[in-house]
Amino acid sequence: MNCEQSIPNLAGLCTVREAAAAGLSVDDNVTMLKRIHYVKKRLYDTMVRHMCRTPEWEVKGAMSLHLWLDAEHAAALRRRVSEMREPPLHMDKVPDPQLETALDELLHADTTLELLAGIRFFRQALLEAYAEHRRLSNPLIDHPTYRVMRFVALEEQDMLDWLDPAVEALQASDSEREPTAAWVAHLAACLGQAGGLLGTEPAPPAPAQRTLRSADPFELQLVPRRDSRFSDLYNSVLSADEIYRDRARDPKERVWALFYKRLRELDVPEMQCSIVAQTPNKPWEYYLDMGRQIWDEARHSMMGEVAFLQNGVDFTKLPIRINFSLELNTLLTPEERHAILYEIEFGLMPGDTGKKYEWETSRQTGYDLAMTMHDYDWADEVLHAQIGRKWIVPQFGDVQRTIDAAKEAWGKLAERRPAYVNESPDWWDLFYGKVRDKEFVSSSEATGAK
């Protein structure tokens, strides 16, 4: 036998037998992908609309990641469908009113437990849909779709791997399991009326009477919430900017202020989600870009969280104020909020005061973790400035008009800003007095951080 005959054929994708199966037609394939895409879009929208009303810190962070992944998956599905004789604009139509009802019900989850249990149910249904799609499709003839299903399934499983323990943690007692199971059963019944996620299952007879929460309009909550670990939410005595920009202070103190500044960035996803929730009918690329920035800002907050925990500091005891997202969400229009966001990012670009300065401050301490964090934070903010220039600057005409609009919006906030009660006006001196003499640590074994 010639050595060439031993080389795997068909690029190693499958056997000849598997490639000889007829598989899905283009029309059937597109129908399934549209339904999967619709669920992805709705999961994104649901998490955006629940960001402020969800109090748990860890859930806000995870939702920021998951909604971006859903946006990425939806973009991949849109691109694939557009390659199969379908104009992309058809992707924005509701593929099935019953599927719409099932996801409307999820949107009306009352608690974080209901929200996460419901999202987990739909993600499990998605995983089953991917597997069924791969089973029905031809891995060679329709390899581009087959590949999308494979990588989307990998990240779907990652999200489920977080959701499983999160739901379990929120079910603090057995008494909560029964109502949670009933809620998931309700969502399953609604999805069943749609013939399952792919629409290929026989729908059971419709119930004579069914109470739907979505019969009432969903009320978007713009006031951000925090869980019971956080108490001092409105402390306006000190800005981290005052500390890290003060070159007369020791670099170590300025880096602690930068860690605090990173930590507090969770208020940006809260504010940015409000913009997205109140900005309909944009191209999907807008929601994809905004989803990426939402996740980046949450990731920056997690960087600060890591720095505090790694160095043995319970960050929940610090004043993690919500003033920024609270004021912008409730006192300004979505366009004004986005203008302010862009103006902030634009102002971070100068090397002597912006992100480069933050990185150089970190370098002065010699703390490798701080340097790496602010190296990537700097790169992210350059991207965010580009996102703002792409989506909000055209609405105002040019960069200068956008910055002028932001300044006007800051003026509105100054006029309308409520008076805050500061529970601990000297909190920074008390905090830094405890960590001033501590050495920064890079090893988790040194502090038992996890």
Q: Does 406 lie in the same domain as 306?
A: yes
Q: Does 358 lie in the same domain as 424?
A: yes
Write out the DSSP string of 36-84: HHHHHHHHHHHHHHHTTT---HHHHHHHHHHHHHHHHHHHHHHHHHHTT
The mean per-residue pLDDT over the stretch 290-319 comes to 96
Q: What CATH number should be reported for the domain holding residue 191?
A: 1.20.1260.10
pLDDT at 422: 72
Q: Does 172 lie in the same domain as 255?
A: no
Domain count, the chain: 2
The mean per-residue pLDDT over the stretch 341-363 comes to 92
Q: Does 304 lie in the same domain as 197?
A: no
Measured CA to CA, the distance from residue 140 to residue 15 in angstroms comes to 9
Write out the DSSP string of 171-183: --SGGGHHHHHHH
Measured CA to CA, the distance from residue 111 to residue 105 in angstroms comes to 13
pLDDT digits over 225-250, tens only?
999 999 888 876 666 778 899 999 99
**Is the pLDDT at 448 greater than 60, yes or no?**
no
pLDDT digits over 404-413, tens only?
999 999 999 9
Structure-token pair, residue 374: 């602010």
Q: Does 331 lie in the same domain as 188?
A: no
Measured CA to CA, the distance from residue 211 to residue 29 in angstroms comes to 33
Count of beta carbons in the 10 Å neighbourhood of residue 188: 14
**Amino acid, res. 419:** A
Q: Does 115 lie in the same domain as 264?
A: no
Q: Closest by alpha carbon to 89, among 81, 100, 98?
A: 81
Measured CA to CA, the distance from residue 156 to residue 120 in angstroms comes to 10
The mean per-residue pLDDT over the stretch 177-182 comes to 93
Confidence label for 393 from pLDDT (cuts 50, 70 and 90): very high
Q: Does 244 lie in the same domain as 203?
A: no
Q: Does 97 lie in the same domain as 202?
A: yes
Quick one: how many helices (H) and strands (E) in the chain? 18, 0
Residue 223 resides in a domain: no
pTM of the model: 0.95
Q: Does 435 lie in the same domain as 328?
A: yes
Residue 181 resides in a domain: yes
Residue 357 resides in a domain: yes
Task: Compute the chain's Rg from CA coordinates.
Answer: 25
Under 8 Å between Cβ of 311 and 435: yes
Residue 30 host element (H or E): helix 26-50
**Is the pLDDT at 254 greater than 80, yes or no?**
yes
Structural domain boundaries enclosing 70: 14-208
Residue 412 resides in a domain: yes
Q: Does 114 lie in the same domain as 70?
A: yes
pLDDT at 241: 78
Q: Decide which of 154, 189, 208 is a domain's last residue.
A: 208
Q: Does 200 lie in the same domain as 70?
A: yes
Residue 326 resides in a domain: yes
Q: Does 419 lie in the same domain as 307?
A: yes
**Is the pLDDT at 4 greater than 70, yes or no?**
no
Under 8 Å between Cβ of 270 and 233: no
Q: Decide which of 167, 184, 208 is a domain's last residue.
A: 208
Residue 233 resides in a domain: no
Residue 6 resides in a domain: no
Residue 31 resides in a domain: yes
- Cα Dmax for the chain: 86
